[in-house]
Amino acid sequence: MILPTKHLSKERSIIGVGGEVLLILNKPMTISSLWNNIKESRKRIYGNSFLSFDWFILSLDFLFMLNLIEFKSGKIDKVKK
Amino acid sequence: MLDTLSLSWYKAKVEAKFYRFRREEFQSWFSDIMERAYPSDFHKIRLSKGDRGCDGYRISTQTVYQVYAPRKASPSELNGKIIDDFNKAIVEFEGKISSWVFVHNDPDGLASETVIDTLGDLNKNNPTISIITNSFNEIWDVVKSLDRTNMLDLFGEAPTLLDMRNLQLEAIVPVLKYIEGREVPSDPPIDPPSEEKLKFNNLSNDIQEMLKLGRRKEILVENYFANVLDPLYGERIAQAFREKYCNLKATDLTEDEIFDELRRFTGGDYFCGTKELSATLAVLSYFFERCDIFENLVYQ
């Protein structure tokens, strides 16, 4: 589920959704804002958003485990290097 | 008149039953086909011990049918059975036997000693009686001659080329839901599909044609998996097919028999509508092309 497979496209894999989150996260955002933004982005790019909320949360968990995002003062932001 | 897809579908079903059935089940199935093909002419003989060397009789041609589909038989047992049953038949049907047909379902054919010695000797010693064997090809010829009502009764509906051309997503969904429900694998294999995979797996021409026709519509399956809300749905279905194929491969079924079992796993005997039956071919083709079922070509 993290990586794409024969039956799971890259844009629906956890790593694919995580990549989209990083592209959208250009400033600290609440989870609701980030969720709305990624849905809008996917509608623009793929013509649909077909992304469930729990899958979106799994991608955030994945980015958090890789120390790419952090949760501070109620908002999500990229980890500053 | 049946088109090529329907014919291939029926032939695959006939072949699967022909090689799967044994003993009384095979005899009963054969008799059912013959009674439908030759109503009031072919008569099956009661299934019991002491059948007097005859399992079926066709009045117009004075043909005695002896059906033999044991689970296992050595050549000597087979030869003994042929001689014994023939001798019983010529006594029982004295003056009313012009042909004697030995019906068998051995996928490897009869042993040479059976053909040359046993049947050869019977032919030589009984010049007035035509002694022949019937196996799959002969039974398939009889099945092909049946009218649509009898085909439906025996084998159900079959998809047509028109069904396949008109196949839409609405028919794919119930087929996928039918086979849903396995755990997601931790590390699914990824191999490129092979152009020669069909031939490499020794699948019959009819099954190859069905898979090729199904391939035209597998984009519907791909689009469904790409857009369904649960991203892991495709992997779950794929894993169900992988596990089923592995279990079948571990038995002594032939590749065509494995395909028939997978066809049934996909709902080929469950669904009655021709649209859904066409969808089963699209689903099978989708997983075949993505190397979830059947063997992949080994490159040297």
Q: What is the pLDDT of residues A45-67, one digit of tens each?
A: 887 767 889 999 999 999 999 99
Q: Are B290 and A50 within 8 A, CB to CB?
A: no
Which pLDDT score is estimated for A51? 86
pLDDT digits (tens, 9 = 90+) for B139-161: 999 999 999 899 989 888 899 99
Q: Which single residue is written with the structure tokens 């994945």?
A: A62
Run means of pLDDT, 10 residues per run, chain A, 81 residues: 88 93 94 92 80 92 95 92 74
Instruction: Give me the pLDDT at residue B11, please.
Output: 92
pLDDT at residue B186, as a whole number: 42
Beta bridge partners of B67: B103
Across the A/B interface, how many CB contacts are shorter than 8 Å?
A: 36
Q: At which residue do the structure tokens 């042909």 appear?
A: B99
Residues forming a β-bridge with B134? B103
**Confidence at residue B273, expressed as pLDDT on a 0 to 100 scale:** 87
| B194-239 per-position pLDDT tens digit | 557 877 888 888 888 888 888 888 888 988 888 888 888 898 899 8
| B218-227 vs B169-179: helix crossing angle, rounded to 10 | 70
Q: What is B165-232 written as a DSSP string?
A: HT--HHHHHHHHHHH---PPPSS-------TTHHHHTT--HHHHHHHHHHHTTHHHHHHHHHHSS-TT
DSSP bridge pairs for A69: A78
Contact A48 B227 (CB under 8 A): yes
**Tens of pLDDT along B173-192?**
888 878 764 333 444 444 44
Task: Compute the half-sphere exposure of residue B293: CA atoms within 13 Å on the CB side of its CA.
Answer: 28
> Bridge-partner residues for B100, per DSSP?
B64, B131
Query: How many angstroms separate the CA atoms of B1 and B144, rounded?
Result: 10
CA closest to A1 among chain B residues: B232
In B, which residues are within 8 Å of A56 by CB distance?
Answer: none
Beta-carbon contacts of A32 under 8 Å, excluding residues fewer than 6 positions away, are none
The predicted-structure confidence for B246-258, as pLDDT tens digits, reads as follows 999 999 888 899 9
pLDDT at B118: 86
From the list A9, A52, A55, the residue facing B226 with the nearest CB is A9
User: How far is residue B246's CA from residue B230's CA, in Å, rounded to a whole number?
Assistant: 26
The DSSP letter of residue B39 is: T
For residue A48, the chain B residue with the least C-alpha distance is B227
What does pLDDT average to over chain B?
84
Give which of B176, B233, B235, B293 to mutate to test A binding, by max A Cβ within 10 Å: B235
Which of B225, B242, B286, B291 is best to mutate for the A interface (most A CBs within 10 A)? B225
- C-alpha to C-alpha distances, B243 to B60, B91, B250, nearest whole angstrom: 51, 54, 11
* Model confidence, pTM: 0.70
Tell me how far CA of residue B30 lies from CA of B18, B64, B72, B230, in angstroms: 9, 13, 19, 47
Residue A8 has phi, psi (to 5 degrees) of -135, 110
Give the closest of B227, B235, B238 to A50, CB-based.
B227
Closest CA to B221 of B179, B162, B159, B172: B172
Nearest-angstrom CA–CA distance, B280 and B157: 13
pLDDT of residue B195: 52
Q: Please report the pLDDT score of residue B41 as a whole number.
A: 95
pLDDT at position B187, please? Answer: 44
Q: Where are the alpha helices (DSSP H) in B59-191?
A: 75-92, 112-113, 120-125, 136-144, 148-155, 161-165, 169-179
Contact B237 A7 (CB under 8 A): yes
Burial class (CB in 10 A: 0-12, 13-18, 19+), B195: exposed
Whole-angstrom distance, CA of residue B227 vs CA of residue B95: 72
Q: What is the pLDDT of residue B113?
A: 73
Cα–Cα distances (Å) from B165 to B20, B125, B242, B278, B296, in that order, read: 32, 57, 28, 9, 28
| H or E segment to which residue B297 belongs | none
How many C-beta atoms surround the C-beta of residue B54 within 10 A? 20
Give the helix, strand, coil percentages of chain A, each rounded to 5. 50, 15, 35
